[in-house]
Structure 1
Amino acid sequence: MHNNSRENLSMRKLISGFLIAGLLLTPTKLDAWGFQGHEYIGEMTWNYLTPEARAWVQERMDIVGEDSLATMTTWADRVRGTEEGRWMGPLHFANVPPDEDYFDLERDCPNRRCVVGAAMNDIEVMLDPTRSAEEQARALRTFTHWITDMHQPLHMGYQHDRGGNDIRVTFFGSETNLHRLWDTVMIRGMDDMPSPAMQAQLHSLPEPRDDWHQALVDWANESSDLARANAYPNAEDGAALGERYFRQARPVVENQLILSAQRMARIINDAASRSESAQ
């Protein structure tokens, strides 16, 4: 088979997959990365944890009744429509004004009522060895979601379009919105990505940061920049998107999944190490 024929066949399969994925999407689902993306990140994170950190996480997962770090990452979305989770709605995102070029905690996250502030609050509990295992378990459960949400660029998108939720687009002919496109549709078309365990082998952990609060602000700014540079351009309301948009967006999506796992792992390893040192 000639190269052009193979490429055409590959593209037809890709388009078919996206059409099926579009049909499977429910119009009310607003989960960042979708469950598939969150669980991919959680499983990759587990592969980066030290033995001490795995034991620390396992003890806390047992307390809150979670079976794995992968499924724990989805808890905040699983309870989102319930009384228990409804108050956390504003904690899934943050918005940088279109006329500003950086995220500012005081301006964009008053009283820490946004995804960045929520992650900060949880880190403070996780890193404090004087806090109970129960308190740390609850903080870990939500932190694993906030850190993954932060790395989906449109969770640092604009308020006026609700992070792309109000921008209707077609993707390979299937109707969706820009937020959902980045959450779930493109990831479902990336089934040739390495497994989470293989990704962890391919990408070594970066050096830890001295100030996790500043790190969160830096990562929020990275996501905001990616939203402006990669998600929003050429994706105005009513746009028809396809191969070109996907080819540009795919490496961004995959890299954000990897970075989210690495950064989550670094923070959990730090928390476990502090608990171990305090004993």
Structure 2
Amino acid sequence: MKKLFFLGLCLFAARSGFAWGQKGHDVTAYIAECHLTPAAAKKIDKVLGGYSPVYFANWLDNASHTPEYAYTKTWHYLNVDEGRTLDDMPANPQGDILKAVTEIVAKLRAGGLSPEEEAFNLKMLIHLLGDMHCPMHLGRATDLGGNLRPVRFFDKETNLHSVWDTSLVESAHKWSYTEWQRQIDRLTKQEAEAVAAGTPADWVAETLEICRKVYDETPEGSRISYDYIAAAAPVIERQLLRAGHRLARLLNEIYR
């Protein structure tokens, strides 16, 4: 019976191991869309068949569960265990989010892809930049990125990963993705350039530091309520804003 229960937990963790929930990915994609150059916006519109980047913001979460794209399941995260660093943590042989984003950006920059290959890689990049900024996607392998760390969200039994993926985003503000953009995307040009600076490796390291604070401040069995949401909301806002501006920068550089 215990083995069946643990198996169920693992299966649940595998199903829920993606980031931000739909709202967070939509916000990231829409912020990026709002900061595309006219040239990039025109080219991206053609690659995506006339659809907005928001339309495909959550596409990879669904695709990763299909046999055709099952190989991308580990691309949504990069596990770093307690006491380990990004440099000494053994690499996942199936790949991780930093490796995936680095390779996708290189492919798109190089060009020469078929229309289908280009659209596929662009849709992945739109999604994975959001994942890269979700704190628990730099979580520990020992608890499957917080999926096996039980907490209570008000009176609901859940896990730390799920709380940061979805519950906190939806509880922080009851906004549509366009309202999120209007409310948090208010940087000056200089501030936006500073936020968008750096490399994917820098951004992963930054998210890892936030993840470690989340672990420290959320022991197993924590009851998460209004005070936790109030403290987490600015972190979420900042991460979504960073992801959106950084995605826009990459897309503007790729599609000059």
TM-score (norm 2): 0.85
CA distance in 2, matches of 1:201, 1:94: 27
Q: Which stretches of structure 1, 4 residues or more, deviate above 4 A after TM superposition? A: none
Matches within 5 A, 1:247-262: 247-262=230-245
Q: Give how far 1:270 is off.
A: 0.3
Matches within 5 A, 1:126-275: 126-191=108-173, 195-199=179-183, 201-204=185-188, 205-207=192-194, 209=197, 215-229=199-213, 231-273=214-256
- Aligned residue type for 2:104: D
Partner SS for 2:141: coil
Partner SS for 1:175: strand
- Whether contact under 8 Å (1:94, 1:116) holds in the other structure is yes
- Aligned residue type for 1:188: E
Matches within 5 A, 1:21-60: 28-60=15-47
Gaps of 5+ in 1: 1-25, 274-279
CA distance in 2, matches of 1:218, 1:153: 14
Instruction: State the partner residue of 1:7.
Output: none
CA distance in 2, matches of 1:103, 1:165: 20
Q: Give how far 1:136 is off.
A: 2.2
Partner SS for 2:157: strand
Change (3 A) 1:85 1:253: same
Q: Give how far 1:227 is off.
A: 0.6
CA distance in 1, matches of 2:165, 2:97: 16
Change (3 A) 1:241 1:107: closer
Larger Rg: 1
Q: Give how far 1:111 is off.
A: 5.9
Partner SS for 1:259: helix
CA distance in 2, matches of 1:237, 1:123: 37
- Whether contact under 8 Å (1:43, 1:196) holds in the other structure is no
CA distance in 2, matches of 1:94, 1:255: 20
Change (3 A) 1:166 1:39: same
Instruction: State the partner residue of 1:23.
Output: none
Change (3 A) 1:120 1:191: same
Larger displacement relative to structure 2 (123-132 or 173-182): 123-132
> How many equivalent pairs are there?
238
Q: Give how far 1:107 is off.
A: 4.4
CA RMSD of aligned residues (A): 2.3
CA distance in 2, matches of 1:116, 1:69: 21
2:58 aligned with 1:74:
yes
